[in-house]
Structure 1
Amino acid sequence: MKKLFLLAFLMLGMISVQSYAQDESEELTEEEMVKYAAMEAKVQAFIKEKQTTMEEMIKENETLGGGARYNEIKGAWGNDEKLAEIEATEEEKEAFAEIQAYIDAIGDEVKEYMTGLIMDAEVLGAATYNKVRRAMNADPAVKEQINNLVAELQNQEEGDEAESEEK
C-alpha cells in the first residue's frame, strides 16, 4: 500500500511534459500553486480509491479467504517449491494473479490520469506544471508550500466526505 503512494510521487519526477516557451524569471503565482496542489490532491485521491479497491479485492476474495492467505501466497509467489509447501491451489494462484494484475495496472492508470490532468489547460496545463516543478526543485520553501496546500485540500476533502456521510 505504501508502494502505491511512493509510486505516485516517483511518477511526478518521471512524467516528462514538453515545456512551452516560458520566461524562467517569471514569478510563480498563488493561483498556479493552488492549481498544482489541486492536481496533486486529485492524483492522491485517485490512488487512495485504487488502493481501497485493491484491499477490498483481497479481503472479499472467497478463493483466497482474505489478506492472510493472500500474503502467504505473495511470500511464496515465483517459487514453485514454496507454493507447494503452503499447498496453494490452482484456484488460489489464479485469484492471486488476478489481484496482482490489477495492482500492476495501477501504475499505468495513475500515470495516465495524472498526465490527463497535467495536459488539461483548465485543470493545470503543461506550462504551469513545468513552471511549478522548476520552482519546487529550485526552492525548498516552494515545495513545502505546495505540500501544505495539498494537505489542506486533502483535509478539506476528507471533511466534506465525513459531512456528507453524516447526512
Structure 2
Amino acid sequence: MKRVFVLAFLLLGIFSVQSFAQEASEEVTEEEMVKYAAMEAKVQAYIQDKQTTMEEMIKNNEVLGGGARYNEIKGAWGNDEKLAEIEATDEEKAAFEEIQNYIDSIGDEVKEYMTGLIMDKEVLGAATYNKVRKAMSADPAVKEKINSLITEMKESGEEEGVAL
C-alpha cells in the first residue's frame, strides 16, 4: 500500500513538472503579442470600413431617401401588411434588399479576411494565434496588454500597414 502511494506521489510530481515545463515554454513573447494585436486592429479597421460603406449606402440611397425610410421598411420587413401600410414601393423593397444583401455578406467577408490574416505566417500564423488566444484566456494581464496594443495601433493607424 505504501509503495502505491509513493508511486502515485512520484507520478503526480512528474506530471506537474511536465505541465509546468509546457506552460513555461508556452509563454507569449512581446513580438507575438504585437503580431496578434496588429491582426486584431486590422480586422477592426476592416469592419469599420464595411460599416462606413453600409451607412453611406443607406444615407445616399436615392430610392429610400435616407435612414429614416430604411428604418421604417426594416421595421415592416417580412410582413406584407405592414409594408402595404407604409406604402413601400417595389423600388424601395429592391433597394432595401440590396442593402440587406450587403449587410448579410459582411460577416462572411470579415471571417474570410480574418482567417487570411491568421493563416498568413508573415502576419501572424495559426500557431501564434492559438498560443496567444490560450494565453489571453489564462492570464488577464496578457489580455489587457494586447487590448492596450490594439488601442495604440488604432490610434496611430498602424493596423493599415498590411492588407490582404
TM-based fold match above 0.5: yes
Bin of the TM-score, shorter chain as denominator length: 0.7 to 0.9
CA distance in 1, matches of 2:23, 2:87: 61
Select the structure of larger CA radius of gyration: 2
Q: Name the TM-score, length of structure 1 as normaliser.
A: 0.79
Mapped partners of 1:80, 1:115: distance in 2: 39
> Where in structure 2 are there 5+ consecutive unaligned residues?
1-21
**Deviations for 1:114-137, whole angstroms, at most 9, x for unmatched residues?**
000000000000000000000001
Cα distance, 1:144 vs. partner?
1.0
- Compare 116-125 and 73-82 and name the one that shifted more: 73-82
Q: Where in structure 1 are there 5+ consecutive unaligned residues?
A: 1-22, 161-167
Pairing of 1:35-114 with structure 2 (within 5 A): 35-114=35-114
Amino acid at match of 2:75: G
Shift of 1:157: 1.0
In 2, distance between residues paired with 1:93 and 1:41? 36
CA distance in 2 between counterparts of 1:32 and 1:120 reads 14
Q: Offset at 1:86? A: 0.6
Q: Which stretches of structure 1, 4 residues or longer, exceed 6 Å deviation after superposition?
A: none
- Name the amino acid aligned to 1:125: G
- After TM superposition, the structure 1 = structure 2 runs for residues 144-163 of structure 1, keeping only pairs within 5 Å, are 144-157=144-157
- Kindly tell me the number of residue pairs found equivalent between the two proteins: 137
Give the Cα–Cα distance (whole angstroms) in 2 for the partners of residues 136 and 66 of structure 1. 42
Query: Percent same amino acid among aligned pairs?
Result: 80
Query: 1:25 corresponds to which residue?
Result: 24
> Offset of 1:140 from its aligned partner?
1.2
Please state whether the residue corresponding to 1:115 is helix, strand or coil: helix
DSSP 3-state at the match of 2:157: helix
What SS class does the counterpart of residue 65 from structure 2 fall into? coil
CA distance in 2: counterparts of 1:113 and 1:84, whole angstroms: 40
The residue aligned with 2:132 is 132
Give the superposition deviation at 1:25.
Answer: 3.4
